[in-house]
Chains A and B, each alone.
Chain A
Amino acid sequence: MAAVTQTVEQVAGLEKYKHGFVTDIEQDFAPKGLNADIVRFISAKKNEPEWMLAWRLDAFERWLAMDEPDWAKVNFPKIDYQDSYYYAAPKEKVGINSLDEVDPDILETYKKLGIPLREQEVLAGVIGSPRYAVDAVFDSVSVVTTFKKELAQVGVIFCSMSEAIREHPELVRKYLGTVVPVSDNYFACLNAAVFSDGSFVYVPPGVRCPMELSTYFRINAENSGQFERTLIIADKGAYVSYLEGCTAPMRDENQLHAAVVELITLDDAEIKYSTVQNWYPGDPETGKGGIYNFVTKRADCRGDRSKVSWTQVETGSAITWKYPSCVLRGEGSSGEFYSIAITNGRQQADTGTKMIHLGANTRSRIIAKGISAGRSSNTYRGLVSAHPKAKGARNFTQCDSLLIGKQCAAHTVPYIEARNGQAKFEHEATTTRLSEDQLFYVMQRGLSQEEAVQLLVNGFVKDVLQELPMEFAVEAQKLVAISLEGSVG
């Protein structure tokens, strides 16, 4: 009951989108538009080695020859790729060594967002409370990464992508682009050409990462796009849990966010990847503004008995186009996908997962909960496939959609491809509205309609919330409530 009270309080005291403020700081921009020179500019800004620039230019060439995909159930005006800044970074004060040298405005921003960047602040909490290391990405650059030293002691590398390219080129070259190839799809290809930062994690064999790692993405600059690239490698027998959060200011124009996330697990390794996506969703009445969230996330379970678990809470963005996937290559490897996608106002989401069973005895599980309210549209699109060698592959999929209101839409588009006689796939899906009986029952106990809806929705998504790390679960629960605000009545 405590969480519900908290949710209710939270909703009462909130504006519709609390992260919609802008931080006014001096920033470096690349010239507006996109061409080979911009790609060179970004690479030069990051002091990248020659091979990285060549990789980017090759991606750019390929991107020029590609067409924007149009198969998703989303509608938006054509994007003018020349009308955006591809690089925006807070003006750097030469050689930042400690957090004290970071622009106080940025620190203030993260404080306002509730992200602890000061290690002592994290420690100041109750003894024994969970700690987590943060990589803070502000527009195109990573401004700070915390707990690096402590992580280094156990051999875990956690740093920004630009730093990894400079400091650990052997690891980056070995793994970058091996899960999501450069020309995988239109947006991934664009990302490969212009990606500016992101997080890099390497967990050495047998190490269980001592704390949660997280990256917090913030788009701040106007007219800019964010293109980050995350690469996480869990070596043999390693384990890491990684969280990702994102917010952006409220603006009338649409901003593009095209990220790529690559996960690699070797034998017996496990990665747990959680996302709470809360980009600005645009104006709920007019649909103006908001982030276009076109993200490619894929995990390659290369090792035997390795495991990847995706958990996502998608509440923001004007448009979401995102399919975190698992390529289950290693024998006995397993993939999980737990998702809550909430759309309200004029939001459109087309999201789901792919579970590609290549190895024998691979297992996967998909639990997707979609909630549409207002005039939004919410699509689950997924693929489960078993190749001829994937003997004994098993999948269980459950996708449920909940509709709140007369003008919203919910779609389910699962693809199932079984190519051998020993695979076993089960899939079930339902689409309903909130049950009148349940609402009546809760309301006659004295809850208002809005509170009642929140309570029931929280029950509907419970299976997924349980999979989130604790500190995220509370936040996510609040987020669910806020996202649905104004959808009843």
Chain B
Amino acid sequence: MSLTSAIRDRDVAQLPSRRDEDWRWTDLRGLIRILPQPSPPFAGDPGAGVFDPLATQVVTLANGRGEAVIYVPAGETAWVALRILSQGDGAHAARVSITLADGARLHLFETYEGEGGYVAQTSLALTLGEGAGVERIVLAADSAGGVSISQAEVTLSPKSEFAQTVLTCGGRRQRIETRVAHPGGHASLRLDGVYLLADKAHADLTTVVTHAGVDGLTEQLTKGVVRDQARGVFQGRIVVREGADRTDAKMGHHALILSDRAEVDAKPELEIYADDVACAHGNTVGALDEDAMFYARQRGMPEADARALLTEAFVGQVIDRIDHNEARDLVRGWAAERLRP
């Protein structure tokens, strides 16, 4: 039941389906009748990426091809733009391996860019040494016909810091999954997400954080805006293993549904086997606040502008948490573009 082997063997029976609890809202078996042929090599010039100006190194993976082994030596800082490109109607899988030695720092600017009706899978492995720090910013702009599943396995070390902000506008089926092995030991984790969906887009932000040691910190905030017939999915699970005392974990998911036919599904889960913990989650789903809309409109703002302003402010709370200044501005612009109809 792994997507990689399903693509390799062209075997739809290995695709996850509604019957798999973790995939009940992102059914692949019901969607993909036949797995397409392997994708041919990427044709043409992909042009420059949005994050290229901020990076010292650009790594491109096109239709599953290309080397992506990134290593940051102890004490050094790297700015890497990682571009994952998909083109055409084939199937492909890509692998990325990122390792940070003790005390190293990495700004990872990751983009998913696609056109066509592809089936793509990306596996990322990120390993952080002691005291290492990563800020991962993901902009996922898959094509409306594309199926894209990105799965990241993050392994933290004591005193390391991992901060992630994912922004997506979905795909035909899209899932961005992050699994974090959290050793505690004053390591800190921030997992944020924003989904902005329109038409028939589907996006699934899934996270699993496993706290295995004492003194771990996790903060999560995901916000979504869905309109038309789009569907947003958020699944967050925080596991606190036996003995992982003094874990402090917070999870928030808030979504706005702006049309009658859109859908939001959420499952904020806590699985706790230790008693000295403070864990909380909050979840809200609803329409735009009518009072705020009224206020904006009686100040003379046209309805569309008022709506855009309020939704931008809504997701802005997540974007504000990005550390990297230029990246934050860039991301804010990217979001604003997708919020204005």
Chain A interfacial positions (CB closer than 8 Å to B): 71, 388, 391, 401, 403-433
Given A424-B285, A428-B282, A430-B280, CB of A418 within 8 Å of CB of B270: no
Partner of B268 from the list A401, A414, A419 (CB cut-off 8 Å) is A414
22 contacts between A and B (CB under 8 A): A406-B274, A410-B270, A414-B266, A414-B267, A416-B264, A416-B265, A416-B267, A416-B283, A416-B285, A418-B264, A420-B261, A423-B286, A426-B284, A427-B268, A427-B283, A428-B281, A429-B280, A430-B278, A431-B278, A431-B279, A432-B278, A432-B279
Partner of A405 from the list B275, B282, B283 (CB cut-off 8 Å) is B275
229-276 of chain B: CB within 8 A of chain A: 242-243, 255, 257-276
Chain B's nearest CB lies how many Å from the CB of A483?
17
Partner of A406 from the list B268, B269, B275 (CB cut-off 8 Å) is B275
Contact between chains at A416 and B272 (CB < 8 Å):
no
**A residues near B268, Cβ cutoff 8 Å:** 412, 414, 427, 429
Q: Output the nearest chain A residue to B262 by Cβ-Cβ distance.
A: A421
Partner of A421 from the list B21, B257, B276, B284 (CB cut-off 8 Å) is B257
Given A420-B260, A423-B285, CB of A413 within 8 Å of CB of B275: no
Chain A's nearest CB lies how many Å from the CB of B278?
6
Q: Output the nearest chain B residue to A392 by Cβ-Cβ distance.
A: B287
**CB of B277 within 8 Å of the partner chain:** yes
CA distance A420 to B264 in the complex (A): 9
Partner of B273 from the list A71, A391, A409, A426 (CB cut-off 8 Å) is A409
Q: Output the nearest chain A residue to B265 by Cβ-Cβ distance.
A: A417
CA distance A35 to B266 in the complex (A): 42
Chain B's nearest CB lies how many Å from the CB of A42?
34
Q: Output the nearest chain A residue to B255 by Cβ-Cβ distance.
A: A418
Given A413-B269, A418-B285, A420-B257, CB of A433 within 8 Å of CB of B277: yes
Contact between chains at A418 and B261 (CB < 8 Å):
no
Contact between chains at A407 and B272 (CB < 8 Å):
no
Q: Number of B interface residues at 8 Å Cβ cutoff, please give it.
A: 35
Chain B interfacial positions (CB closer than 8 Å to A): 21, 242-243, 255, 257-287
Contact between chains at A426 and B267 (CB < 8 Å):
no
**A residues near B258, Cβ cutoff 8 Å:** 421
Partner of B279 from the list A421, A426, A430 (CB cut-off 8 Å) is A430
Of B259, B265, B273, chain A has the most CB atoms within 10 Å of the CB of B273
Contact between chains at B287 and A428 (CB < 8 Å):
no
**A residues near B271, Cβ cutoff 8 Å:** 409, 411
Chain B's nearest CB lies how many Å from the CB of A426?
5
The prevalent SS among residues of A at the interface is strand
CA distance A411 to B280 in the complex (A): 11
**A residues near B287, Cβ cutoff 8 Å:** 421-422, 424
Partner of B272 from the list A391, A405, A411, A418 (CB cut-off 8 Å) is A411
CA distance A408 to B277 in the complex (A): 12
Q: Output the nearest chain A residue to B226 by Cβ-Cβ distance.
A: A421
Given A416-B266, A426-B283, A427-B282, CB of A388 within 8 Å of CB of B261: yes
CA distance A422 to B260 in the complex (A): 7
Given A427-B283, A428-B283, CB of A412 within 8 Å of CB of B275: no
Contact between chains at B267 and A423 (CB < 8 Å):
no
> What are the 10 closest A-B residue pairs judged by CB atoms, nearest first?
A403-B275, A424-B286, A427-B283, A421-B257, A416-B266, A412-B270, A431-B279, A425-B285, A418-B285, A433-B275
Chain B's nearest CB lies how many Å from the CB of A449?
15
Q: Output the nearest chain A residue to B267 by Cβ-Cβ distance.
A: A415
**B residues near A418, Cβ cutoff 8 Å:** 255, 257, 263-265, 285
Contact between chains at A421 and B283 (CB < 8 Å):
no
Contact between chains at B265 and A407 (CB < 8 Å):
no
Partner of A431 from the list B255, B263, B267, B272 (CB cut-off 8 Å) is B272
Given A403-B272, A427-B268, CB of A432 within 8 Å of CB of B277: yes
Contact between chains at B270 and A411 (CB < 8 Å):
yes
**B residues near A416, Cβ cutoff 8 Å:** 264-267, 283, 285
Given A409-B272, A424-B287, CB of A417 within 8 Å of CB of B280: no
Contact between chains at B264 and A413 (CB < 8 Å):
no
CA distance A428 to B281 in the complex (A): 6
CA distance A433 to B279 in the complex (A): 10
**A residues near B259, Cβ cutoff 8 Å:** 421
CA distance A428 to B251 in the complex (A): 10
Partner of B270 from the list A406, A420, A431 (CB cut-off 8 Å) is A431
**A residues near B255, Cβ cutoff 8 Å:** 418
**B residues near A388, Cβ cutoff 8 Å:** 260-261
**A residues near B276, Cβ cutoff 8 Å:** 433
Contact between chains at A410 and B272 (CB < 8 Å):
yes
**B residues near A407, Cβ cutoff 8 Å:** 242
CA distance A427 to B284 in the complex (A): 6
**B residues near A420, Cβ cutoff 8 Å:** 257, 260-262
**A residues near B277, Cβ cutoff 8 Å:** 403, 431-433
**B residues near A410, Cβ cutoff 8 Å:** 270, 272
Chain B's nearest CB lies how many Å from the CB of A366?
12
**B residues near A417, Cβ cutoff 8 Å:** 263-265
Partner of A408 from the list B262, B263, B275 (CB cut-off 8 Å) is B275
CA distance A431 to B258 in the complex (A): 32
**A residues near B280, Cβ cutoff 8 Å:** 428-431
Chain A's nearest CB lies how many Å from the CB of B277?
6
Q: Output the nearest chain B residue to A378 by Cβ-Cβ distance.
A: B272
